[in-house]
Structure 1
Amino acid sequence: MTAVAGRRAAVPGWVSPLAGVVGVLAAWELLALTVFGGGNAVPTPQGVVSQLADDGWAFYGPHVRGTASEALRGFLWGNAVAVAMALLVILVPPLERVVTQLAVASYCLPIIAVGPILTVVFDGDTPMVALSALSVVFTTLIGMLAGLRAADKASLDVVRAYGGGRWALLRRVRLTAALPAAFTALKIAAPAAVLGAIIGEFMGRVPAGLGLAMIVAQQQLNVERTWGVALVAGALAGAAYALIALAGRLATPWARAGTPGGGR
């Protein structure tokens, strides 16, 4: 057991993700040349990479900036609303049922159905920002509530013993205790915000965006570019997830130290 554990510890942490990427690319190549080889729906990885290189940043730059701007604003607005709702539930518990029902309703609304309505009501990229915000409210609200309620009971009792009310409990104990769970929810919300913005671009009127670029590529029957745009969109969502994860590690070092092996 000790020798096996030693060998596992000697393997760098980046080996498993790299092996996963290589496996996906190999499976993609095999399927493109065999199962889907008769059509033009699934290009090979080499074809997609070649198209990405030909298009370059001159093509993708404006689209990435447009989608990133919409997703960032939606992320900020949606999470601000979610955090405010969570704090309201903690400070005024009788409102919990109403708040959670509103959050569930926002989560269950089909974005495809809401998008056209927003594009009629609002101008510019506001519908994309709204759809992006709508995509993150429920996730962040649930994570924030779970974190706020996970506060140490002994610490809460100490504040109560000194005469502290709900606001004092929130400010002195609950907010700090909620940070790990909040960042976990934010990590999930970040890619969701990107997805919401891209779906909004499918049906909106924007000068640039990854959703718009994908629609145009599909209309032009440029399969390699369509897949390239999808890969860039996935990379943008992954970068958003990684950025929030890094922020969470820096903001909550005690949470990482409290996990098995985290203090090593």
Structure 2
Amino acid sequence: MSDTPSLTTTEPLRVPSGGIMLPTLSILGGLLLWELAVRAFELPSYLLPAPSEVLEVMAERWPLLLDQLGYTAFAACVGFVIALVVAIALGALIAASPAFERVIYVWLVIIHAIPKVVVAPLLLVWIGFGLKSSIIFVVVFTFFPMLVNTVSGLRSADPDLLLLTRSMGANAWQTLRCVRLPSALPSIMAGIKISITLAPLGAVIGEFVASNKGLGHMLIQSVGSLEVPTAFAAVVVVSILGIATWYLAEFVERIAIPWHASQRATPRD
């Protein structure tokens, strides 16, 4: 009998994972090169602070950074939830009604094509100064990717299943809940993962022009007063918020669609 392994074995293929060692070494190496370059070229801190100086500022001003982070994170979360609810509801209507799509979709594309920063002064006039403007900016930044992925996912339902549910007398709501929505979940989750990292960006840009609080306001004030290490500290905190939201979306995806091929193929070791 041959000792060659059978090609029909049911044992799952295990893909070795690199763990976190290589990414960690890459980050530490980049920070070390940054530190050495600043010291070798004797760059002033108002031009490019060293990582050690940024970390020192973060340690000294951590209570203030944490307070501003809470304000920015609240605007990002509220705006993202609003965009998610509206995108899924509107996507369901567009997928269900071609006539509705022809009427509304062109307007959505036009609105998405307008540069977001251009409308910032108008939002300040229309909505006012404060948290509301930041939330609206988050909605504007995060809405369209989720809408497009929702429509695409709802339209990807198996036609045979749709015919089967109709033959069994299912109404539009039952078809949406039992067939279209489950088949659309992978696409919806992809849109969520794209949009959720844009939520902190939208909040920060909103704070640039229409807020006296938050990491965006802190960043623009620090740059204006040439406190560049503080500005870098704010950027680092915003980046950490973006990374955290990404991994939160991945966690939700694993819970929502554990049956999908993308999750079964993901190495866990």
Q: Please state which band the TM-score falls in when normalised by the shorter chain.
A: 0.7 to 0.9
Question: Within the alignment, does 1:236 sit opposite 2:247 as a pair?
Answer: no
The TM-score with structure 1 as length reference comes to 0.87
SS in 1 for 2:157: coil
Distance in 1 between residues matched to 2:233 and 2:22, nearest whole Å: 24
- For 2:7, the equivalent position in structure 1 comes to none
Distance in 2 between residues matched to 1:21 and 1:197, nearest whole Å: 26
Question: Which residue identity does 2:77 align to in structure 1?
Answer: L
- For 1:104, the equivalent position in structure 2 comes to 109
Q: 1:55 aligns with which of 35, 58, 61?
A: 61
Distance in 1 between residues matched to 2:14 and 2:189, nearest whole Å: 32
Q: How does 1:1-264 map to 2 (within 5 A)?
A: 9=16, 12-33=18-39, 37=43, 40-56=46-62, 58-123=63-128, 124-206=130-212, 208-255=213-260, 259-260=264-265
In 2 relative to 1, CA 130–258 (structure 1 residues): closer, same or farther, beyond 3 Å?
A: closer
In 2 relative to 1, CA 104–24 (structure 1 residues): closer, same or farther, beyond 3 Å?
A: farther
> Which of these two proteins has the greater Rg computed from alpha carbons?
2
1:85 and 1:99 in contact (8 A); partners too: no
Question: Which residue identity does 1:98 align to in structure 2?
Answer: V
SS in 2 for 1:41: coil
1:232 Cα deviation after fit: 0.4
1:192 Cα deviation after fit: 0.8
Distance in 2 between residues matched to 1:75 and 1:203, nearest whole Å: 19
1:48 Cα deviation after fit: 0.7
2:45 and 2:229 in contact (8 A); partners too: no
Q: Percent identity?
A: 29
- For 2:6, the equivalent position in structure 1 comes to none
Unmatched 5+ residue regions in structure 2? 1-12
Question: Which residue identity does 1:250 align to in structure 2?
Answer: I
Q: CA RMSD in A?
A: 2.5
Distance in 2 between residues matched to 1:90 and 1:260, nearest whole Å: 30
In 2 relative to 1, CA 8–155 (structure 1 residues): closer, same or farther, beyond 3 Å?
A: closer
Distance in 1 between residues matched to 2:233 and 2:44, nearest whole Å: 21
* Structure 1 stretch displaced more, 17-26 or 105-114: 17-26
Q: How many residues align?
A: 256
1:249 and 1:256 in contact (8 A); partners too: no
SS in 1 for 2:179: helix
1:119 Cα deviation after fit: 1.2
SS in 2 for 1:43: coil
1:48 and 1:225 in contact (8 A); partners too: yes
Question: Which residue identity does 1:91 align to in structure 2?
Answer: A
- Structure 1, residues 211-244: CA drift from partner, whole Å, max 9, x if none? 1111121122111111110010111111111112
2:257 and 2:263 in contact (8 A); partners too: no
1:83 Cα deviation after fit: 1.1
1:82 Cα deviation after fit: 1.2
1:248 Cα deviation after fit: 1.2
1:74 and 1:132 in contact (8 A); partners too: yes
In 2 relative to 1, CA 16–108 (structure 1 residues): closer, same or farther, beyond 3 Å?
A: farther
1:35 Cα deviation after fit: 6.5
Distance in 2 between residues matched to 1:226 and 1:241, nearest whole Å: 23
- Structure 1, residues 170-189: CA drift from partner, whole Å, max 9, x if none? 12101111112111111111
1:191 Cα deviation after fit: 1.6
* Structure 1 stretch displaced more, 135-144 or 103-112: 103-112
